[in-house]
Amino acid sequence: MKFYTLAALYLGFAAIGYSAEPKTSPPDAPTSQPAAIEGTEPKRLSLNQRLSSQFMEAFDADRRALAERVQPIDVPYTFNRGTFHFHSRLSHDSIGTIEEIVQAAKATGTKIIGFTEHPSRSVDVVKENIKGWHEGIYFLAGTESNYQLHWPGREGEDELRFVCHPEDVPTFDLTIYDGIEIYNTHSDVKDEPTSAVITAMLLNLAAVKKHPEAAFCSFLDYPEDFLARFDRLSASTQFSGIAANDSHQNQRLKIEAHPDGTVIAYDGAGQEVLKTEGFKAGLVMAALGQTKRPTEKKILADVQLDPYETSMRHVGTFLQLKDGQDINEHSVREALRTGRVVLGFELIAPLPAVGFWVDHAGSPVGTVGDTIAWQDGLSLQVKLPLSAEIRIIRNGQLFREANADSLEIDSLPKGVYRLEAFQRLAGQRYPWVLSNPIKVTEKR
């Protein structure tokens, strides 16, 4: 039966897969590509192993243990949870509603959402979308097209442009953009062959249904190439890095068997992505436990892989609003533009607060996104709500490591500093915190 199952999945599902955005030529302007940081990518189990019941049970048990150990911490700079690169029913590839999005935001503690709808010929998606405060959530209305996220200017504030799906953008004009995605959920999934994803999920369908968040994390990788490129950009210019949730709530796999012998698979928007019949359809039905043609339409599998709450919790873009400002159009855009940003993967462990700052004589003098003039007595401070594998990256290279919930580095030399923190679940290493840089420059 195992061979029959594998044959069915190979024949029936290798064709499933689509992209939310048509491929177009990226903007053309030179930029440099840095060498990847060595030794940062953990050895991974196979996708089929990561989706097995045994692994996901251990993964969830370790997640619960981490969550129970999270402690409140006092840090000098407060971060506000945001979600960016986000789609609703205004995009052609999503049917998500505002009500669903607000509910997910409240469940995850998200205060800011940056919509990036696919443009439409029939409707102005920016004009029609929510802007400003709505049910306690602050919204930016923007678009995703031609490999860029664009939030038009509003309330006297300048527009924002970020490079999205950077793996498909080898060059771009730095003068046009405020920043770049340093993690993208969809990009993270793409390094797994589609046929392998579908096969592994269907072979472990019961476990996927029982452990949906663990299944969502099965593709989570440290974004080594993205961060190496970001470090090179950060060395020469002010550039911001954000997380792209790329949420659509459309990654649903619904498979139906019909009395005429056909098997049809649909995605989350109800679009047909596969139709097969005859011998192949019989193999697919057998693989999913249906040994005979049904006398009426029968759903063989129906799994929603990316509900808004899960994809939102997966990674947050935490904004540190300058000088304790309130959330508004100016403060949010300023934080995004200047890189007052920390990424937190909260499907790994909660992140109620994080501290990463430069201190002098017992007083904080700057945090992520800030440029600080060197002076004698500067120290770098890290404080986390949970012990983690801490890595300090300086000028694109590993500078200091520690297994702790805090770290202090005295006699700080000039350089560009970035924080990384990792957790281990079920024996595998996962990114938990990735920060934008703090720059310490020559004395003025």
Percent of the chain clearing pLDDT 70 (strictly above): 90
The average pLDDT across 104-113 equals 98
79 versus 71: which is more confidently predicted?
71
186 versus 269: which is more confidently predicted?
186
Cα–Cα distances in angstroms (integers) from residue 372 to residues 208, 340, 362, 412, 440, in the given order: 47, 14, 16, 11, 5
253 versus 161: which is more confidently predicted?
161
Predicted pLDDT at 283 = 81
Six token digits for residue 136: 């306690």
Cα–Cα distances in angstroms (integers) from residue 123 to residues 66, 96, 119, 271, 283, in the given order: 45, 17, 8, 21, 43
The average pLDDT across 115-124 equals 96
What's the chain's average pLDDT? 88
Residue 125 has pLDDT above 50, yes or no: yes
pLDDT band at residue 289, thresholds of 50, 70 and 90? confident
Residue 34 has pLDDT above 60, yes or no: no
Predicted pLDDT at 341 = 98
Helix (H, G, I), strand (E, B) or coil at 26: coil
Q: Which of 437, 435, 409 is nearest to 421 (CA)?
A: 435
Predicted pLDDT at 391 = 98
pLDDT band at residue 291, thresholds of 50, 70 and 90? confident
Predicted pLDDT at 10 = 35
Burial of 11 (0-12, 13-18, 19+ CB in 10 A): middle
Predicted pLDDT at 262 = 93
pLDDT band at residue 265, thresholds of 50, 70 and 90? confident
Predicted pLDDT at 439 = 97
Residue 213 has pLDDT above 80, yes or no: yes
Predicted pLDDT at 269 = 65
The average pLDDT across 314-318 equals 98
The average pLDDT across 284-292 equals 83
Predicted pLDDT at 42 = 57
Predicted pLDDT at 7 = 32
The average pLDDT across 355-366 equals 96
pLDDT tens per residue across span 158-197: 999 999 999 999 999 999 999 999 999 999 988 888 777 7
Domain ranges in the chain are: 47-250+307-441, 252-304
Mark 183-222 as b/e (b = at least 16 C-beta within 10 Å): bbbbbbbbeeeebebbbbbbbbbebbeebbbbbbbbbbbb
CA distance 334 to 170: 27
Residue 88 has pLDDT above 50, yes or no: yes
293: left (phi over 0), alpha (psi -120 to 50) or beta: beta
Q: Which of 151, 132, 133 is nearest to 142 (CA)?
A: 151
Predicted pLDDT at 332 = 97
Predicted pLDDT at 4 = 30
Residue 142 has pLDDT above 70, yes or no: yes
pLDDT tens per residue across span 416-441: 999 999 999 999 999 999 999 999 99
Predicted pLDDT at 27 = 38
The average pLDDT across 250-269 equals 84
Residue 37 has pLDDT above 70, yes or no: no
Residue 270 has pLDDT above 90, yes or no: no
421 versus 3: which is more confidently predicted?
421
Residue 21 has pLDDT above 90, yes or no: no
Residue 414 has pLDDT above 50, yes or no: yes
